[in-house]
Structure 1
Amino acid sequence: MGRIDYIDDPNAPKANSVVPSVVAIVTDDQGRVLLIHKTDNNLWALPGGGHDIGESISDTVVREVKEETGYDVVVERVTGLYTNPRHVMAYDDGEVRQQFSIAFRARLVGGEAKTSSESREVEWVPPTDLGRLDIHPSMRLRIHHALEDRESAYIG
């Protein structure tokens, strides 16, 4: 299903849903960041997705990273809460979702790279190379906050 992200756009459609979601900032021993090339909007992003009924939010992080990248992780901490009402995602089926994303640092514990229906590429990217990739500004913000190793989580 296709998706268009709108941020601070006065012509954006009005939100008709909110779905708690997660993203995981995973780095390897070389400090590279785990990213996926998404199939729904053709952008690079942190692995993540929607929270399902019956699972804890940390289970959501572990499941989404495994599904989208093939890697196993352990959740370490929250790096930010992102709830900008001026950021909406419009899906092909008519859903227009207001952003509600919790960003977590997670530690790699196993697995190997594999793509999925949501990820056409899985790549470890050095922070100095992030500028070469097409990444939505809201995702860049999550990466920036996590990599600057803030004393407390971002709330916004």
Structure 2
Amino acid sequence: MNYPWIEIAKRIQALAQSGLTYGDNCYDIERYEALRAISIEMMAYFSDTEMEKVRDLFANETGYQTPKVDIRGVIFQGDKILMVREKIDGCWSLPGGWADVGLSPAEVVVKEVWEEAGYEVKPLRLLAVIDKKHHPHPPSPYHIYKIFIQCEITGGGANAGMETSDVGFFGKDELPELSKDRNTLSQIYAMFEFLEDQNKPVLFD
């Protein structure tokens, strides 16, 4: 899969969407529609995905295009980190998901940990804000920022949710197979560094 071309297709899509949002000339609108169609065709070709699926997932928004935000909860129990098994691929990730309109990042992480892992938590501190494209994730049709928030357990108990099938705590040297679209091994290792160094500064890129 040619990742640079996928990134180029996303940039063309973003430009086309901005033009469709703010353009008021019928000829320019037509050109922006053509650019969007080109971006869809490129994404479908280089990701080996059906055009209709790409159109639905990749070019379905209006307004000025901005990155999506994925929020993950980082919860330690002793020297182990909380993870959930994703039903979608059978692999493991930190509990979390898309930011919800109307909720703050802290409110989102509380909601996601409860829904996916069954624990009530209190957000403690921001650990990282990263750009997904700078990390070894599989390619995505969206530009995504990932926010990691450390939390402490205040109640509840291990309980899988609608999108998860299992819940567990894992040591740094016993990590399960990761859902790489959600978290990479280097990211999980970075979270353990915060456990080992309470003064470690926030990661960002």
The residue type equivalent to 1:41 in the other structure is D
Instruction: Give the unaligned 5+ runs of structure 1.
Output: 1-5, 91-95
What is the number of equivalent residue pairs in this alignment?
Answer: 142
Q: Structure 1 148/19 Cα, relative in aligned 2: closer, same or farther at 3 Å?
A: same
SS in 2 for 1:20: strand
Q: Using the aligned pairs only, state the percent identity.
A: 21
Q: Does 1:154 align with 2:203?
A: yes
- Correspondence list, 1:115-126, <5 A: 115-126=160-171
Partner Cα separation in structure 2 for residue 141 and residue 62 of structure 1: 24
Residue by residue, what CA displacement relative to the aligned partner does 1:45-96 show, whole Å, maximum 9, x if unpaired?
Answer: 0000111111111000000000000001111111111113365655xxxxx2
Partner Cα separation in structure 2 for residue 102 and residue 88 of structure 1: 18
Across the aligned residues of Structure 1 and Structure 2, the Cα RMSD in angstroms comes to 2.5
Report 1 or 2 for greater relative contact order, CA contacts < 8 Å, sequence distance ≥ 6: 1
Partner Cα separation in structure 2 for residue 129 and residue 54 of structure 1: 37
Q: Does 1:36 align with 2:95?
A: no
More strand by share: 1
State the TM-score, normalized to the length of structure 2. Answer: 0.61
Residue by residue, what CA displacement relative to the aligned partner does 1:74-132 show, whole Å, maximum 9, x if unpaired?
Answer: 11111111113365655xxxxx22231101111111101111121111111122211xx
State the TM-score, normalized to the length of structure 1. Answer: 0.79
More helix by share: 2
Bigger Rg, which one: 2
Displacement of 1:9 in angstroms is 3.7
Q: Does 1:47 align with 2:92?
A: no
Partner Cα separation in structure 2 for residue 56 and residue 9 of structure 1: 32
Q: Does 1:85 align with 2:128?
A: no
Instruction: Give the unaligned 5+ runs of structure 2.
Output: 11-57, 59-64
The residue type equivalent to 2:101 in the other structure is I
